[in-house]
Amino acid sequence: MRADHGLPFRNSLMIGGGTSATSPTGRLTLVCILGQNRKTRKLQDTYLVPLLPHFVVMALLLFSMGDAYAEGDPAKAFDQQQVVNTISALLNANYVSPELGRQAAEYIESRLAAGEYSKIPSAAGFADALTADLRSVTHDRHLTVVPDTGVTPPSSIEAAVAQNERAARQAARANYGFEKLEHLPGNVGYLDLRGFSPSEVGGPTAIAAMNFLGNSSAVIIDLRQNGGGEPSMIQLITSYFFVASVHLNDIYWREGNRTAQFWTLPYVPGKKMPEMPLYVLISSGTFSAAEEFAYNLKALKRATIIGETTGGGANPGDSFPVGSGFAVFISTGRAINPVTGSNWEGVGVIPDRAVSSKDALDEAYREALIQVESQAKDTEQRAEAAWASVTLEAKLHPIGLSLGAKRILVGGYGHSRVILEEDELYLVMQSGQRFRLIPLTHDTFALDGAEEPRLRFVTDRNGSVQKFVQLYTNGESDEVIRH
């Protein structure tokens, strides 16, 4: 199994490298996707480990590389010459661009010969230096050297299966990357997706999530904290947004000089959403497979991409043991988009709407509500979208009213009255129940703690308040006269 889109750098949204074990079919490939420790909120390593032919149990070995680096290396010797020689040989044999691989290998060999690494006593420091030097030649953020991770390779197939089962339970507790689903006011669906797990294990969760979104009027998929994963999950999720079979991406592999194609699936369980307005949120930390998801949809003009330019890692690959307690992640393939003929390597995915990562959700939600309102099939749907838009705008641009503007609203209205108390307006009902009035616009207020009604105060030409209109989410209203 290939590491189709794993990101192997520490202290970022994806981390890689690690250990390998031997299976009956030869070298075991480690595939990296995003994991997260929910207790500490520190980013973790996640590995997908296929151990047996036809036995596709995807193990997610969660451990903190960041913590290992912070605590320092165990006091043990390592052979710098052996490490450099092995990495050089692996680069020459496997790196997707043979010429760049050769140049990178020659560069670290020359640095070693010049004594540039001799004053680095720690494995972590040596790994960092090698990674920086290799990337200075290739500009490939997947290419990474890591020291001993502390994960012991399983000594037998039985031990490997047990390790797989434990890790699979951890993956399930992380919900396979599906962090949050929400139904936002205005009938906008929201998915916070932190990683693309293999569809073999995460498929049922993905299908449930997509069916949750299926009744929405617009969908937002949040990849701002997504560092990558498996193309099979990209394929599954994307298939819900197309009817016809669509060519999504190709991956060229140096080994065998072959190209693998990825198309949408002809069938997915549940409702497809080919006409659904779709928004994808990205950040500078969005990487690897998460970038592919956004890049594919942008190239196909199927989604609006909002946020920051992404990290720029389009070269999938494998993790290779180096010896002396080190491993190296080498890009052995290259993504090729069938529409652009290119990819996002080194440049990232450029958003359609460039906003800061922290503002991306608000911007997407605002655009989604405008789209829903303009495409509404009935007045009630249109009113619900408009209602949500007013709430959002008030959140983004809070209204400040002067004391004088508040005072003119004070008075009796039907069986209720509006009072001013400690610079706050309140609606007091006949029963004595009271609601703080929250300004949404200069004349419209929400009742704190109540979704509806809202109150819109109406003045005459002289600025004297005559009544308020009670507004409801379905577009209906009624008047209450001031006395």
pLDDT digits (tens, 9 = 90+) for 293-324: 999 999 999 999 999 999 999 999 999 999 88
CA distances from 109 to 77, 81, 83, 84, 112 (A): 20, 9, 10, 7, 5
User: What average pLDDT does range 42-61 have in this prediction?
Assistant: 28
Look at the pTM and tell me if it is higher than 0.85: no
Rounding to the nearest 10 degrees, give the CA dihedral for residues 404, 408, 410, 411.
Answer: 160
Query: How far does the chain reach from its first CA to its final CA, in angstroms?
Result: 77
Which amino acid, 252?
Y
Cα–Cα distance for residue pair 364/220, rounded to 1 Å: 7
Structure tokens that stand for 383 in this block: 């009113």
Q: Does domain 398-481 have CATH number 2.40.128.50?
A: yes
Cα–Cα distance for residue pair 356/54, rounded to 1 Å: 44
b vs e for 119-156, b when ≥16 Cβ sit within 10 Å of the residue's Cβ?
eeeebbbbbbbbbebbbebbebbbbbbbbbbebeebee
E strand or H helix at 22 = strand 22-23
Q: Are 268 and 233 in contact (CB under 8 A)?
A: no
- Phi and psi torsions of 196, nearest 5°: -100, 90
Residues 130-186 have pLDDT tens digits of 999 999 999 999 999 998 655 566 678 888 888 888 888 888 999 999 999 999 999
Query: What pLDDT does residue 448 have?
Result: 95
Residue 223 vs residue 3, higher pLDDT: 223
> Using only C-alpha atoms, what is the Rg of the chain?
28
Cα–Cα distance for residue pair 319/19, rounded to 1 Å: 8
Q: Answer yes or no: is pLDDT of 14 > 60.
A: no
Give the torsion sign (CA, 400, 402, 405, 409).
positive
| Residue 310, beta-bridge partner list | none
Residues 345-403 have pLDDT tens digits of 999 999 999 999 999 999 999 999 999 999 999 999 999 999 999 999 999 999 999 99
Q: Which of 59, 48, 37, 44 is nearest to 14 (CA)?
A: 44
Structure tokens that stand for 162 in this block: 């047990």
**Residues with Cβ within 8 Å of residue 220, at least 6 apart in sequence:** 184, 188, 189, 190, 191, 279, 280, 281, 361, 364, 365, 368
Structure tokens that stand for 134 in this block: 């290799």
Q: Answer yes or no: is pLDDT of 63 > 80.
A: no
> In sequence order, what DSSP letters do the residues of 302-355 get, joined into one string?
-SEEEES--------EEEEEEETTEEEEEE-EEEE-TTTSS--TTT-PPPSEE-
The fold adopted by the segment(s) 175-316+329-363 is 2-enoyl-CoA Hydratase; Chain A, domain 1 (3.90.226)
Domain ranges of the chain: 175-316+329-363, 398-481
Q: Which of 4, 48, 19 is nearest to 321 (CA)?
A: 19
Q: Are 94 and 320 in contact (CB under 8 A)?
A: yes
The DSSP output letter for 449 is: T
> In sequence order, what DSSP letters do the residues of 179-227 get, joined into one string?
EEEEEETTTEEEEEE--B--HHHHHHHHHHHHHHHTT-SEEEEE-TT--
User: What average pLDDT does range 428-448 have in this prediction?
Assistant: 96
